[in-house]
């Protein structure tokens, strides 16, 4: 079996930050995002076997989404058991902290306000640099649905940002 570790290191250096951004969006905390990313990368590596290629990025995004869903379900089940046992709730930790500059802050606030189905497509399209076909495979939807969610999501984002600027008097 041929060792492709250098190619995987280069691939991770190129795509790691994008994948982590998507994992953050899919997770409830930074720690969960890191766990999800690690599990997804291991799953991707085991499934793909060989040097990374074009399809590996889409596979990684798909695995991140699936691992995040699995983790969220596991956490929800654990919290439910704990709540039943101790009759007390717990608050979820926010998945992002706001940066200092106003533009980034406004964009993150607006992104948090739009529906998740739009948010994940926008993230994959803009920051993940995925095609609608790749996004469709990742999210298990048609490319046309991915394109329309992107369009509707961008419209919702514009409206939200427009409202924010009116409310803040900009």
The pLDDT tens digits of the residues spanning 42-74 come to 999 888 877 888 789 999 999 999 999 999 999
Give, in order, the Cα–Cα distances in Å from 26 to each of 45, 51, 79, 149, 168: 20, 27, 18, 17, 29
- Rounded to whole angstroms, the Cα distance separating 170 from 162 reads 10
Quick one: pLDDT at residue 43? Answer: 93
The pLDDT tens digits of the residues spanning 87-139 come to 543 344 344 444 556 677 778 888 888 999 999 999 999 888 999 999 999 99
Higher per-residue confidence, 11 vs 89: 11
- Does the pLDDT at position 22 exceed 80? yes
> H-type helices in 27-170, by residue range?
30-48, 54-86, 102-113, 116-122, 132-139, 143-167
pTM of the predicted model as reported, rounded to 2 decimal places = 0.57
Higher per-residue confidence, 161 vs 105: 161
Length, in residues, of the chain: 170
């Amino acid at each position: 079996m041929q060792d492709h570790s250098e190619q995987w290191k280069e691939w991770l250096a190129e795509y790691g930050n994008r994948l982590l951004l998507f994992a953050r969006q899919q997770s409830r905390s930074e720690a969960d995002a890191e766990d999800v990313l690690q599990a997804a990368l291991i799953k991707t590596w085991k499934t793909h076997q060989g040097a990374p290629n074009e399809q590996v990025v889409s596979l990684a995004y798909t695995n991140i989404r699936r691992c995040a869903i699995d983790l969220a379900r596991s956490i929800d089940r654990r919290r439910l058991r704990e709540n039943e046992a101790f009759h007390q709730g717990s608050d979820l930790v926010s998945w992002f902290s706001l940066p200092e500059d106003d533009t980034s802050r406004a964009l993150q606030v607006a992104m948090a306000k739009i529906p998740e189905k739009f948010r994940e497509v926008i993230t994959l399209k803009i920051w993940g640099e995925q095609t609608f076909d790749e996004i469709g495979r990742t999210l298990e939807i048609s490319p046309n649905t991915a394109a329309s969610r992107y369009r509707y999501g961008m419209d919702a984002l514009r409206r939200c940002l427009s409202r924010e600027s009116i409310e803040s008097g900009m």
